[in-house]
Structure 1
Amino acid sequence: MPNVIGNPDKGVFTPGRPPQIPEPVMRLNPASDPRKMRRIIAEDPEWSLAIIPLLKDLCLQHIVKNFENNPILNELLPSHKAKVLEKLSTKLPLKVTANLISHEGYWNRCCTERWGVCDVACYGNSWKRMFFERHLEKIIELFIPEVTDIKTVLDVVPLCKNYVKKLNISQLLPPVKEPQMNEDDNASDTASDPGHEGPSIDHFDFWTLLDKLTHLEELHLVYGVSGCGMNFEWNLFEFTSRDCQSLAKALKSCKTLKVFRIHQSKVDDEKVRLLINSLLDHPFLTVLDLSHNLIGDRGARAIGKLINERKMKSITVYDNKIRAHGAQAIAYALTKNITLTSLNLRLNQIGDEGGQAIAHALLKNATLTNIHMGSNELTEPTATVLSQVLVQNKTLRNINLSCNRLGLDGGKQIQEGMSYNTTVVEFDVRLTEIGQESEYSISQILQNNQEKARKKLITESGVKK
């Protein structure tokens, strides 16, 4: 028998012969033979079949987890940076994220998680600007003098000053008053008496803030408490003399301001004169809104001075106490001004004497495009002068005389003037008693003017292209 070399289970090899491969051996299924089943027990109880993450992903997870203590962002590749920003928490301290993260997607998440529905178009389409403006507004609106530490405001200024362009403060809280016991239980509540002067209370001091906001362009203020409900007291809506002095000082230091609004704050003649005096040397101020206040003729004269000395574009003083003399001061300023485009005097008491003065000024003014004199006790004499304005003035586009008693004769005067006009496209004469015939004729002329303006706009846009 020839010598055999090899393992009989794996094959046979005989010298001088080719190797012989044995026939396949049928293997038993382990499931059919419990004695041959095998079990694998992992030493790690958390072991699973999940794919092991890549090392770069582990590194990015570590960066996200420790971002507050060790913020690493600008050193990363763009793709890695995007992944980190996507996973970062919106609850991180602002001292870490404010001047480091500029990605709009992150600030979008911060805004929507904090306020829900957000209109970024009101903030120059910048989510970061929206976040910091609303964040600072809320801090100021909840600031209680002599209770809240001023550091809560000043600490956030270095973080937001480069992004805040507008502040819309809807309320300013007064100091907390200690309850006082009346000797007579039946005594009247003098704090709720509108004729009672009340204590001299102060609100948030803007002098500590405005000079530090180097990009602030708009400031809207209301010295009052929103949603006070059953706790209403007149002294919650008190713009004190000390408040006014502090605000005037702050406005004078804010040289970047373009728009200033203070309404529903009981601003009277003395206070508005002080505020306007601080605005006279502002290089960029163009819009002033003093609506829903207590401004009379002396305050109106100060406003006229501002129109004369500054390149204002819009003045709004509706719902005040301006009468004929105040309107005459504003009218005189209109004859000199060459920049103002909008004037709103609605809900005052200028009467025909003031209305005629404004109308005569419009015969000389060549820049005003919008004027609102609704609810001003105007009658036919004002309508007569305005009919001349409609014939001669070529810049007015929108006129509002609603809620005045112009009468049928006044309506005919307006109708006659409009028959020569080709530029006015909106003219509100509701509730003026001018009659249906005049209303219909004026509306037909307006439609023709609107069609001409539309065609002119199409022509000009085509030429520009």
Structure 2
Amino acid sequence: MFNQKQWNQLLAQGERGLQERVKTECRHYTSIDLKGAKLQLIHIQMIAEILQENKTLTSLNLDSNNIDSEGAESIAKALIKNKTLTTLHLGLNNISDKGAKSIIQALIENQALISLDMSGNHIGCDGISNITDLLENNRTITTLDLYCNNIGVQGAKRIAQALENNKTLTSLNIGLNNIGDEGAKNIAQRLEKNKILTSLNINYNNIGNEGAKSIAQALEKNYTLTFLDLYFNPIDDEGVKSIAQAIAKNSSLTFLNLGANNIHDEGAENIIQALKTNKTLTALKLDSNHIGYEEQAKIEQALERNIHVASLFHGKGIMRVLKKVLSKFWI
């Protein structure tokens, strides 16, 4: 991997001839990781030019470099010509909707990239229309990270519509986007019919009970989703009851994160009942809720009947539960 240390060594030799030195060095690698390297626009443009000609690189990480929309346009031009890159990280770069449009238009032509990280780029609802074009026209992207882009309810609706026709996306992260109950409902409606997506992150999204009920309904009909992250949403016992009932019937989900919601003992009791019949869940996170020690003890008992699940609590509860689970593998 060509990393920041090697980059700094080449940069220390001066700007003159830097592009040729980097170009020569990168011939020996399949991956470039320059996350947080404080690259200037001229450096981004240089890397983009190298990318156009390079035949060995499969992964490029430019996270946290503030490349903005102009830098994104340079990368986009390279993506049109490059046929080997499969993973691209552009998170936290202030790309905005303008830069996102350039990247997405390039990827509609590019049929090599598999994984795209555009998290934390202020794309907004307007920029999401470009993302939906990608989902509807690209046939190679399997992993898409749009975490923290302020897409809101309307953005969630557009993504949901695009999921209806997409046949390749298996992992979607739209956490911290304030999609709310309405946005969650739209995503859930597509999940009922979607047979491709296996991983969905919708944490930090202000999803309440109504959104949780829609997701639960989808889980009863969906048999491909294996990973669901609902961390830090205001879902209380009412919403968790619906999710628990869905878990009891669902036979595909292996990871469920309900940490930092508003779950009390009543909600925990419903989860306990679900664990009696569910045989596929391997990781259940319930930390930072309001579950008493008595209910934690009951979940311990449920775990004794199901050695596959690791249920997480803060403090002493987590150690007690994990010791119970782990001891079963060392008999």
| TM value normalised by structure 1 | 0.56
Q: 1:253 aligns with which of 81, 88, 91?
A: 81
1:210-238 per-position Cα deviation (integer Å, ceiling 9, x unaligned): 122111111110353xxxxxxxxxxxx4x
Q: Is the 8 A contact 1:316 1:344 kept in 2?
A: yes
Q: Is the 8 A contact 2:3 2:34 kept in 1?
A: no
Q: 2:109 aligns with which of 281, 284, 306?
A: 281
Amino acid at match of 1:430: G
Corresponding residue for residue 148 of structure 1:
15
Q: Is the 8 A contact 2:212 2:239 kept in 1?
A: yes
Amino acid at match of 1:152: L
Q: 2:70 aligns with which of 220, 242, 265?
A: 242
User: Matches of residues 326-345 of structure 1 in structure 2 within 5 Å?
Assistant: 326-345=155-174
User: Could you say which structure has the higher helix fraction?
Assistant: 2
Structure 2 Cα separation of the partners of residues 261 and 400 of structure 1: 21
Q: Which has the higher contact order (CA 8 A, sep 6+)?
A: 2
Corresponding residue for residue 56 of structure 2:
215
Corresponding residue for residue 460 of structure 1:
none
Amino acid at match of 1:448: K
Q: Is the 8 A contact 1:407 1:432 kept in 2?
A: yes
Structure 2 Cα separation of the partners of residues 290 and 323 of structure 1: 16
Q: 2:44 aligns with which of 194, 204, 208?
A: 204
Amino acid at match of 2:15: T
User: In the superposition, relative to structure 1, how do residues 141 and 172 fare at CA in structure 2: closer, same or farther (>3 Å)?
Assistant: farther
CA drift of 1:292 comes to 2.0
Consecutive unaligned residues of structure 2, counting only runs of 5 or more, are 283-305, 309-331
1:24-74 per-position Cα deviation (integer Å, ceiling 9, x unaligned): xxxxxxxxxxxxxxxxxxxxxxxxxxxxxxxxxxxxxxxxxxxxxxxxxxx
CA drift of 1:258 comes to 0.9
CA drift of 1:445 comes to 5.3
User: In the superposition, relative to structure 1, how do residues 281 and 403 fare at CA in structure 2: closer, same or farther (>3 Å)?
Assistant: same
Corresponding residue for residue 168 of structure 1:
33
1:61-93 per-position Cα deviation (integer Å, ceiling 9, x unaligned): xxxxxxxxxxxxxxxxxxxxxxxxxxxxxxxxx
User: In the superposition, relative to structure 1, how do residues 408 and 170 fare at CA in structure 2: closer, same or farther (>3 Å)?
Assistant: same
Residue 432 of structure 1 aligns to a residue whose secondary structure is coil
Corresponding residue for residue 28 of structure 1:
none
User: In the superposition, relative to structure 1, how do residues 436 and 314 fare at CA in structure 2: closer, same or farther (>3 Å)?
Assistant: farther
CA drift of 1:413 comes to 1.3
| TM value normalised by structure 2 | 0.77
1:376-413 per-position Cα deviation (integer Å, ceiling 9, x unaligned): 01111111111211111111111111111122211111
Residue 333 of structure 1 aligns to a residue whose secondary structure is helix
Amino acid at match of 2:94: K
Corresponding residue for residue 138 of structure 1:
7
Q: Is the 8 A contact 1:346 1:375 kept in 2?
A: yes
Q: Percent of counterpart pairs with the same letter?
A: 27
Q: Is the 8 A contact 2:136 2:165 kept in 1?
A: yes
Residue 200 of structure 2 aligns to a residue whose secondary structure is strand
Amino acid at match of 1:138: W
- Correspondence 1:421 to 2:250: yes
Q: Is the 8 A contact 2:10 2:21 kept in 1?
A: no
Structure 2 Cα separation of the partners of residues 138 and 212 of structure 1: 19
1:404-426 per-position Cα deviation (integer Å, ceiling 9, x unaligned): 11222111111222221122121
Structure 2 Cα separation of the partners of residues 153 and 416 of structure 1: 59
Q: Is the 8 A contact 2:236 2:267 kept in 1?
A: no
Q: Is the 8 A contact 2:135 2:166 kept in 1?
A: yes
Structure 1 Cα separation of the partners of residues 209 and 120 of structure 2: 27
User: Could you say which structure has the higher strand fraction?
Assistant: 2
CA drift of 1:437 comes to 3.5
Corresponding residue for residue 180 of structure 2:
351
How many pairs were matched up?
281
Corresponding residue for residue 280 of structure 2:
449
Q: Is the 8 A contact 2:60 2:85 kept in 1?
A: yes
User: In the superposition, relative to structure 1, how do residues 209 and 408 fare at CA in structure 2: closer, same or farther (>3 Å)?
Assistant: same
Q: Is the 8 A contact 2:198 2:225 kept in 1?
A: yes
Look at both structures and tell me which one has the larger radius of gyration over its CA atoms. Answer: 1
